[in-house]
Structure 1
Amino acid sequence: MRIAIAQTTVTVDPVANGAAIRAALRRAAGDGARLVQFAEGALTGYAGADKPHYRGWRIDWAPVDDELAATMALAGDLGVWAVIGGNHRLTGDHLPHNSLWVINDKGEMIDRYDKRLLSHAEISGLYTPGEHVCTFEVDGFRFGCLLCIEVNFPELWRQQHDLGVDCVLFSTYSEDPIFEIIARGHAAAHNYWVGVAVPAQCAPAGSSALIGPHGYLLRRADPDRPDVICVDLDRTDPDLDSALNKARPWRATARSGDVYAARRVTDARSLDRTRP
């Protein structure tokens, strides 16, 4: 299965962002991608770095709604899935979610991931935390979603593994290169692909990339401009054989503990841990 990671310039203008997203969708579809991943805040801008987007802590939702509708329609026309970052409106005075919208190849919103573990700044007046896990399947591959500082919480990444996820779509609005290093560690530890999507203006510190189940980069976007990279998720790739067909099943066996319990012995030299 071919996926694309789109590295668009993210501004405070949903109209400009929407146009960039749709251009990336067309390019990815032309290259045969079935799913396109975008950065955190790709459609709306991100509140943390783009606070001018908030007008007295209120968002003008009309252009957001229009651009999201146009993008959903295009995804349906192109027959591609899209996972797009943005602020999701709640009711009344409730702050929005920091979300990833999941749009299928018919142009339908089939789910939404709302960032669960927010930063101190986000929880102090920018966003409302989410509470659900989001996974979905495309062409026999299961995808999961995580956002930005959630890279720092191993339990969320282990949860993705336990849910049988093949590829984690990790979107961020960050210029911290350590995020990629941590994501590579999660990919290698759990033997799944990880898509890393960042805005073009953050790319010089570490551009968008696809990490393989062995923890190595399979492809990286240009760090100096907007870009779209397409990569095949290929379970038959011999370079991934050890990670997918040996490490992942063996680690499941190891975690169950049965293989070790059957081989433990009662031995005086084992029981006495103070003896040389």
Structure 2
Amino acid sequence: MRIALSQIAAGTDPKDNLAAVRAQARAAAQAGARIVVLPEATMTRFGIPLGPVAEPLDGPWATEVRSIAQAEGIVVVAGMFTPAPDGRVTNTLIATGPGVEASYDKIHLYDAFGFAESDTVAPGAEIVTIDVDDVRFGLATCYDIRFPELFRAHADAGAAVSLLPASWGAGPGKRDQWDLLLRARALDATIWLAAVGQADPTTIGEPTRGSAPTGIGYSAVVGPDGRMREQLGAGPGLLVADLDIAEVASVRQKVSVLANRRLPLG
């Protein structure tokens, strides 16, 4: 299974960011990828009011993402914001393309490191998977990576790969935590983990923006044995990777952490 991770630095104009989706989907398709994954907040970066730019899944932004996916013959996963019933927004992944139409609302909200995502974002509650060429993918977003039960739920639902769009917050030790958490979650669930973050905006001449999580880069593919297989740097880039799906069963035979669970505890 060939996948592509598109590490972009999203701006504040959803139309400009759609142009990036189009270019990245085309490049990924030309490289032979079956799915291209863009970061959390691809629609617009964090650090601005999200309510005015949020749109429903049948709105113009998502509709254009669908058009791009169909035109390029590739599944596109990208972060956007949709209106929530309580006046907040939801931090949503759209997954769309040939044979795929789904969305995932971020379950675990980033109320940490001086940022309160829940002030403006409502949490999701549903585990979501998609199937591409008979391979099942679980969907997660950024801060979800700190909660191993979600990735084990992906595995229990039959997923061989977890996809993690992110817009990781910068700060002391945050890069180390990113790498550690990606490797740990892959090994916890003995699953391929493909994580794509927003590029570090300073690499394209943009300033940092307080506590808003606007990205550090370092998108990565981690194997089901917890080994880092490929990784980008801080700046924008496209990572194309071939995942050996059979490796999941091989690792699970050797490291039977899913089969050896004893629940409930306590």
TM-score calculated relative to the size of structure 1: 0.79
For structure 2, the 5+ residue unaligned runs are 204-215
Letter of the 2:243 counterpart = L
Q: Report the counterpart of residue 261 of structure 2 in structure 1.
A: 255
Q: What percentage of aligned pairs have identical amino acids?
A: 28
Q: Secondary structure at the match of 2:218?
A: coil
Among 99, 111, 119, the alignment partner of 2:110 is: 119
Q: Secondary structure at the match of 1:117?
A: coil
Counterparts of 1:1-276 in structure 2, within 5 Å, are 1-46=1-46, 50-51=47-48, 53-54=49-50, 57-59=51-53, 61=55, 65-90=59-84, 94-105=87-98, 110-120=101-111, 121-123=116-118, 125-174=119-168, 175=170, 176-177=174-175, 178-201=177-200, 205-224=216-235, 226-236=236-246, 242-247=250-255, 250-255=256-261
Give the drift of 1:254.
Answer: 2.7
Whose Rg is larger? 1
> Comparing both structures, which one devotes a greater share of its residues to helix?
1
Q: Deviations over 1:147-174 (max 9, x none)?
A: 1111111222222222121111111111
Q: 1:78 to 1:128 in 2, by over 3 A?
A: same
For structure 1, the 5+ residue unaligned runs are 258-276
Q: Deviations over 1:197-235 (max 9, x none)?
A: 1112269745111111111122112423x2111111113
Letter of the 1:66 counterpart = P
Letter of the 1:185 counterpart = A
Question: Using the alignment, how far apart are the partners of 2:54 and 2:121 within structure 1?
Answer: 16
Q: Deviations over 1:9-29 (max 9, x none)?
A: 111110111111110000000
CA contact (8 A) 2:148 2:188 kept: no
> Comparing both structures, which one devotes a greater share of its residues to strand?
2
Q: Secondary structure at the match of 1:200?
A: coil
Q: Report the counterpart of residue 272 of structure 1 in structure 2.
A: none
Q: Deviations over 1:244-272 (max 9, x none)?
A: 4432xx33443369xxxxxxxxxxxxxxx
Q: 1:68 to 1:235 in 2, by over 3 A?
A: closer
RMSD of aligned Cα (Å): 2.5
Question: Using the alignment, how far apart are the partners of 2:52 and 2:43 within structure 1?
Answer: 16
Q: 1:251 to 1:59 in 2, by over 3 A?
A: closer
Aligned length: 241
Give the drift of 1:60.
Answer: 6.6
Letter of the 1:77 counterpart = A
CA contact (8 A) 1:9 1:199 kept: yes
Runs of 4+ in 1 over 6 A off after TM superposition: none
Give the drift of 1:61.
Answer: 4.6
